[in-house]
Amino acid sequence: MQDQNSYTSVTPPTTPPDTSSEKPEKSHSEGWRSALSTIGILLIAPLVAVFLTAFVFQSYQVDGPSMQTTLQNNDRLVVWKLPRTWARITGHDYIPKRGDVIVFNESNLSTFGQGESKQLIKRVLGLPGERVSVENGVITVYNSQHPNGFRPDEEMSYGKVITNTEPESNTTSWTLKQGQIFVAGDNRPDSLDSRAFGPVATSDVVGKLIARILPLGSAQRF
């Protein structure tokens, strides 16, 4: 039986002093290191951006109707440069695939009232060593696999987007050397391309179209 005068005492736990408001003092060396790190990031970031733009990928905006209906005026694109960069590092030509849409430098434009040099975007139709003929507005490619010729606009998947030219009476042809390709815009009636200025040197290829990012409703991978 418990004595009525007995009791059990309870001692509250000891509360450690509140040190949350105390801030550790930073040494001068830590402050300098933080400042130098920030400065380093600010200096390196633009260099990384320049490197990526020059050698890996770059954004372009379409100017003109020559690639309709595949591309529209003012579309924002991403062009992949890494394969061309790697080809140059290894001492090889960068040869795009037939049907690829590429950006390239073209300097033979003064006779067409387009200035001395310009970057153009077109589709690859003829590859090195092939013969390309344009007859009545129809492009035919001749090579060892197709000695009698084939029409890429009719036989390749991209053909459904081509806007054909009106039939022409003249016939022209080119035999592509090593390091040369033949290009044309998808909007054939309104495109300045190899049909006018001839083959394009593979060394002038900038890169391959891989995506349209704007407008967002038309975003697409290629």
Asked whether the beta carbons of 144 and 151 are under 8 A apart, the reply is no
Query: Which domains, and CATH codes, for the chain?
Result: 58-221 (2.10.109.10)
Whole-number Å distance between alpha carbons of 5 and 133? 118
State mean pLDDT over 53-80: 94
pLDDT digits (tens, 9 = 90+) for 148-165: 999 999 999 988 888 776
CA pair distance 28, 16, nearest whole angstrom = 30
Q: Considering the entire predicted model, what is its pTM?
A: 0.79
C-alpha–C-alpha distance, residues 214 and 196, integer Å: 30
